[in-house]
Amino acid sequence: MRLWKIFALSAIILIALAGFVIGQDQGPGPSPDSTNTVARPRPPVNSSPSSTAAPDATTGQETDLPKIPSKYKRGQDTTGLPTFKSDVSVVTVDVAVTDAKGHFIPGLPSSDFRVLEDDVPQTIKSVNMGEAPMTVAMVIEFSARFQQFWGPTWYQTLSAAYGFAQSLKPDDYLAIIAYDLRTEILTDFTTDRAKIQEALQRLNIPGFSESNLYDALTETADRMSGIEGRKAIVLISSGIDTFSKKNYGETRKILQEDGVPVYAVGLMQALRDMAEARGMLRGTQELDFLQADNAMRTFAKETGGMAFFPRFMAEFGTIFQQIQQAMRSQYVITYEPTNKAHDGAYRKIKVELVNPSTNEPIAMKDEKSGKPIKYQIVAKAGYKAPREVE
């Protein structure tokens, strides 16, 4: 038994030695030559930097190639060398010309338009008709101040919100934003109508009694200021602000600079008329509502939008049609401003319709009746010039 154990142990040792010798012959492990490494060694510190390594086409090994020569050296004085700087600025203004009923007036020749920037006439480069998908943020007041659950204003608010969302085309982007004490994005910009319906269904029971309109408007306009193309804010609100960080003047300035058209739809007009007729509105309350209406009119006018104050919900369809007609059917005017300064200053814009031969305002007449037509030019009030880029 003891001899058998010695024999087995000797056999194991012989097999292990044989495997070690075979492994050395096949060489799958690390090379015994420690001078060959996987990583390419760094060049010596004192080597010339005027060459770079590249693989040889035949051997695959890296060879040194000369660097591409440069005409200029580090530290060289570049005074007098050519420099390149872009000073070209093009301003685009979306203009809607509407009659007294808010209908868009098409077919106006480009020569009839005149653009003034800070009261200085500008040379118009092009006037085109545009119709493109819209990017709209619907900002909805939804607070317990006026929109009590199942109350008339609650129902009017939801009717307006659902009605506008259903009036959009499939390619239009829509964001739903509600505000009370805070501004909440119920859904960001999307063409998915299922997401939009889901966001609207969250407008159920209002929370806080505060109504911070100015903060909601400025935050939304700041987010949309960098969006290209047709964009607008559709505001469904009473127009009353209770607790915003921004005041009326600050909000007005921010909206002017951001340049996003505001289309305001005022709430509770019929209720206010009834309350006023019955003597239920006190002096301060009536004044608050009048100031709210004036604020929404100002925001809309200075951003190139419109303001509507419907008394009946049956008016919503016509209002939404006018908003889309004004946004989709517009004259797109481009010009290169005479003021080339990139100083970040605000510049006022005024668009006029004039007779090119006399520079007198154009008087429009109805083709059928021959009666004069009162028209309105809707355009943004100005823009903020870019700053110099160093």
> pLDDT for 106-165, tens place per residue?
889 999 999 999 999 999 999 988 776 789 999 999 999 998 888 899 999 999 999 999
Q: Would you state the pLDDT for residue 182?
A: 93
Q: Would you state the pLDDT for residue 19?
A: 40
Please give the Cα distance from 172 to 64 (Å, whole number): 58
pLDDT in tens, 196-213: 999 999 999 998 889 999
Which run of H or of E encompasses 128? strand 124-130
The token duo for 55 is: 């693989």
Query: Average pLDDT over the chain, rounded to whole?
Result: 80
Domain boundaries 134-328, corresponding CATH code: 3.40.50.410
| Edge-to-edge strand ranges of the sheet holding 346-353 | 120-121, 113-117, 346-353, 382-384
Q: Would you state the pLDDT for residue 280?
A: 79
Q: Is 54 exposed, middle or buried (0-12, 13-18, 19+ CB in 10 A)?
A: exposed
Q: Would you state the pLDDT for residue 157?
A: 95
Give yes or no for residue 47 having a pLDDT over 60: no
Question: ∠ CA(284), CA(287), CA(289), 5° rounding?
Answer: 115
In the chain, CATH 3.40.50.410 covers: 134-328
The token duo for 357 is: 């031969």
Size (the chain), residues: 390
CB 142 within 8 A of CB 160: no
The pairing of beta strand 120-121 with beta strand 113-117: antiparallel
Which of 250, 237, 253 has the alpha carbon at shortest distance from 292? 237
pLDDT band for position 88 (50/70/90)? low
Give yes or no for residue 85 having a pLDDT over 70: no
